[in-house]
């Protein structure tokens, strides 16, 4: 039972750390120029396609953490097969960026 509690604590700590780094991240106005699929976001990190990288996208990323072949796998372009810190870093670089469309 101790291992299960440690796993839960690790997951919660990781999510909180992700949110902290996103909140402290830079606000670069960077967008992707490589839309491979019709539904692929133009703004890297905008996983729900609402033209803003925000907490909703963090939730999607955290739900996909360490998943293979996920739409949240955005870095390196076009993805490396797993959702990890590289994808988080790309999302962080566009944190709170909004595209006017």
Domain presence at residue 66: yes
Instruction: Give 69's pLDDT tier (boundaries 50, 70, 90).
Output: confident
Asked, for residue 100, whether it belongs to a domain, the answer is no
On whether residue 98 sits in a domain, the answer given is no
98 in helix, strand or coil?
strand
Q: Percent of the chain, pLDDT > 70?
A: 72
Mean pLDDT over each residue of the chain, to the nearest integer: 77
Q: With respect to residue 101, please indicate whether it lies within any of the assigned structural domains.
A: no
32 occurs within a structural domain = yes
Q: Is the pLDDT of residue 46 over 80?
A: yes
The one-character DSSP state at 81 is: S
Compute the CA torsion angle 83, 86, 92, 98 (nearest 10 deg). -70
Q: Domain span at residue 56?
A: 2-93
Give me the number of domains the chain comprises: 1
Q: How far apart are CA 31 and CA 41, in angstroms?
A: 9
Could you tell me the pTM of the whole model? 0.60
3-state secondary structure of 55: helix
């Amino acid at each position: 039972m101790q291992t299960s509690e440690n796993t839960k604590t690790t997951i919660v700590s990781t999510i909180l750390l992700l949110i902290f780094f996103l909140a402290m991240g830079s606000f670069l106005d960077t967008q992707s120029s490589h839309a491979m699929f019709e539904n692929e976001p133009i703004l890297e990190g905008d996983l729900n396609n609402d033209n803003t990288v925000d907490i909703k996208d963090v939730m999607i990323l955290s739900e996909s953490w360490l998943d293979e072949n996920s739409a949240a796998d955005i870095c390196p372009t076009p993805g490396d097969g797993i959702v990890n810190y590289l994808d988080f870093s790309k999302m962080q670089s566009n944190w709170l960026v909004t595209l006017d469309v």
